[in-house]
A and B are shown apart, each in its own frame.
Chain A
Amino acid sequence: MSGKGLVTPGPTMKARSKVAVEDPQLQAALSNLDLRLFTAGVVQAEHPEWKDRVAEIRRETLADLDGWIDKLEAKLLSLGVVVHRAATPEEARAYILGLAQREGVRRVVKSKSMATEEIDLGSALEAVGIESIETDLGEYIVQLADERPSHMITPAIHKTLGQIADVLSKEAGTELPVVREPLTAWARDKLREKFVAADMGITGANFVAADTGTIVVVTNEGNGRFCTSLPRIHVAVVPVEKVVPRFEDLGVLLPTLVMSATGAKMSNYLSMVTGPRREGEIDGPEQLHVVLLDHNRRVLLGTPYEDMLGCIRCGACLNVCPVYRTVGGHAYDSSYSGPMGKILTPLVTGGEEGRDLPFASTLCGACTEACPAEIPLADLLVRLRADLRTPGPVVVPGAQKPAPPPALPVGPVGHSDEHPRKPGEGFATAVTRITVPTRRAPWSQRRMGFDAWSRLWAHPSAYRASLRVGRLGAKALRPRAGWVQRAPLLRAWTDTRDVLVPSGPTFRERWAARERGEERW
């Protein structure tokens, strides 16, 4: 999931956050936006009934995800779509690269997609000499700057207009003015050349309807229309949870997605693609391929993390998040940032990436409140903090025992009417990445500390003694009315704030004094 240059470097979220907070340009870009006022609670206020319906549809889908995937696959095949089930990003990349090479593809145009970020497809294509152009203006800017998107709806949100003009001027080879319209016009012409010359369009999908096989791509700019209309091959990379049972479900899902994402009533463009170009039509892709990506998602079904698969990628949780709003998206060093990214990243990478992310939260719950899919994000963050104690893949309480790897070879072949999928084929390698808990969490220093602390404080006398010891220790700091400016052991606090330490009598001592009549309140 990595590979892209970052604006905010550093090995840990902690280190990157420090850089982000101290970066005046980034802080200027972030403070330009009133993200929260922009989207928070619009759906909840204007259409409270949508949220319940969305959550209901997502739960219904997840309750039988494999069943809906099978239905979708059958429908897609009947439309002449080639379907490939990819258990891992490697498999998805191998399939797409194989296809591109077989078809002699030289240039690819991409429409903004979290899934292709997740599998780092752009770099993989470039590595084999296929030009891959991001066509969403924000993504294009980010690509030219060799960075990664910092917000899933507005990828270049971390950049000021001046920085954007610099990036585009460099590509143009001439000084472009720091004015929106001419910058946009330049990018329009530049990208138009790329669209016309591209052999393959790659998109994600916001939803895919199982009953009609319709792939939905939401954009404002129209780049999604180009990618799905002009190149002769269209590949949609679709994480499995994007399936929705019925086309009619889009009636509520799309307005909710857009309103939660941008506060608008509807996005400017929606492309609903049902199969490749039909007989007699003169445009549209001749070949349509759907890559269904699992990447440790199906193994979450039936676990407390199942809810996370209900995410519709609206970004509302990012917009309301105090941490996101302070550090921006790059501090997460992951395709997915903000509250949903802190949960999704360690889960889909099988615990290989983003293990520190769940701790970078105040647990304020603004995300949970904002989420139109009713995902209990703050609760999941708390759970993950516990489940990540065990090294390696995330230990998910209640996960199914991994299925044995299939005997059938899973190669870079799509399934179509000529090559039907054999039972059990596809997705199989994914389930081996998450282990079933067989052992308890190891005894880290943190765990030992909290264990000892809880044992002590479960005994009132030990608790009282510890308060007295604390007060004795604090005495050395010479508190003034309880406040201390510097405390060697509390530097993480006192570097930025004064600290209140135990000094005078505890509350219980004062209560006792009052009981004895020594004190009047």
Chain B
Amino acid sequence: MTTQGAVTDAFLFSMAANQCAVFGPNSPAVALDVIVERAREHTADGTAVALPIGDPTLDELGVEAALLAAGVTLLRPDDADWYSGLAVAGVGITSSIAAVAATGNVALGSGVGLPRATSLLPPAHVCVVRASQVYATFAEAISGLLHAGPLPSALTWIGGPSRTGDLEMRTTFGVHGPKVVDIVVLAD
């Protein structure tokens, strides 16, 4: 649909303006290639990829199998060393449950198998966004999420790499959260 196409383009533009690397909109096959390629790049130094369990979008794409085939080390929430491993993982991969073109941000929901820390502790975050879940405005996204079912215990909105304006009011990146955020849009 052309309107959704325009919204998706606007979303990619906003995210790029927020200093994210943006990819797409891509077919599932291409999106998967991009995810694997980004994951390998972020873990080129031998670190692990943190991957949730039971994420519908990532499972549908077959991210786990593709990453294993690519030979990267996976860290999963049911691993005993999840937390200590996460502290030194190279990248966390998640999907989003909504995204906004006007404000340029994505919403992540917590859940069983979907820990909050996946997108928080590693220095890089790859986020897969379904084009059909991109809203034009923040207000529309808020309504959409409210009516989509019970809110998750943690609904986290992310605009891009962690940043601060505290040093003489110039933007400096990578304070607490990831320094790099990759946005992969899936055409659906």
Contacts and interface: CB of A to CB of B under 8 A. Distances in A.
A181 B164 CA distance: 11
A161 B167 contact: yes
B163 interface: yes
A130 interface: no
Contacts of B87: 196
A225 B156 contact: yes
A222 B162 contact: yes
A156 B164 CA distance: 11
A269 B157 contact: yes
B61 interface: no
A154 interface: yes
Contact of A29 (B82, B160, B168, B170): B168
B183 to A, nearest CB: 14
B116 A269 contact: no
Interface stretch (B29-37, B42-50, B99-107, B126-134): B99-107
A14 to B, nearest CB: 28
Interface in A222-254: 222-223, 225-226, 228-230, 247-248, 250-252, 254
B177 to A, nearest CB: 3
Interface string B82-94: 1000010000000
Given A135-B176, A248-B146, A281-B110, A212 B151 contact: yes
Interface string B152-164: 1111111111111
Given A155-B166, A252-B139, A229 B117 contact: yes
A341 to B, nearest CB: 20
A304 B43 CA distance: 60
Contacts of A141: 166
Given A265-B104, A282-B82, A223 B153 contact: no
Contacts of B137: 251
A220 B14 CA distance: 16
Contacts of A248: 139, 142-143, 146
A33 interface: yes
B157 A184 contact: no
Interface string A289-308: 00000000000000000000
A284 B173 CA distance: 25
B120 interface: yes
B146 A225 contact: no
User: Chain A CB within 10 Å — which of B115, B141, B153, B156 has the most?
Assistant: B153
B163 A265 contact: no
A287 interface: no
B184 to A, nearest CB: 19
Contacts of B110: 281, 283-284
A191 interface: yes
Given A272-B154, A281-B112, A220 B142 contact: no
A252 B168 CA distance: 29
B166 A136 contact: yes
Given A196-B87, A250-B142, A272-B157, A222 B177 contact: yes
A192 B104 CA distance: 27
A404 interface: no
A180 B170 contact: yes
A271 interface: yes
B140 interface: yes
Given A180-B172, A266-B104, A284 B166 contact: no
A188 interface: yes
B131 to A, nearest CB: 20
Contact of A266 (B120, B154, B159, B161): B159
Nearest to B158: A269
A45 to B, nearest CB: 16
Given A137-B175, A187-B175, A212 B146 contact: yes
B111 interface: yes
B156 to A, nearest CB: 6
Given A137-B166, A268-B160, A283 B175 contact: no
Contacts of B152: 274
Contacts of B177: 221-222, 225, 269
Interface in B2-22: 14, 18
B169 interface: yes
Contact of A184 (B143, B169, B172): B172
A32 B169 CA distance: 9
B71 interface: no
A183 B137 CA distance: 36
A435 interface: no
Interface string A402-445: 00000000000000000000000000000000000000000000
A389 interface: no
B174 interface: yes
Contacts of B160: 268
A284 B153 contact: yes
Contacts of A230: 117
A154 B169 contact: yes
A397 interface: no
A185 B159 CA distance: 20
Contacts of B56: none
Contact of B167 (A136, A183, A271, A272): A183
Nearest to B117: A283
B156 A283 contact: no
A277 to B, nearest CB: 6
A154 B169 CA distance: 8
Given A188-B174, A228-B154, A251-B139, A268 B162 contact: yes
A184 B116 contact: no
Contact of A229 (B100, B113, B120, B166): B120
A155 B164 CA distance: 11
Interface in A142-197: 154-157, 160-161, 164, 180-181, 183-185, 187-188, 191-192, 195-196
Given A156-B167, A184-B172, A221-B162, 11 more contacts: A154-B169, A157-B169, A214-B155, A220-B164, A265-B104, A266-B103, A267-B159, A268-B161, A279-B112, A282-B115, A284-B154
8 contacts: A137-B164, A164-B167, A184-B172, A222-B175, A222-B178, A230-B117, A273-B155, A278-B153
**Closest A-B pairs by Cβ, 6 of them:** A251-B139, A222-B177, A138-B166, A266-B103, A280-B112, A270-B157
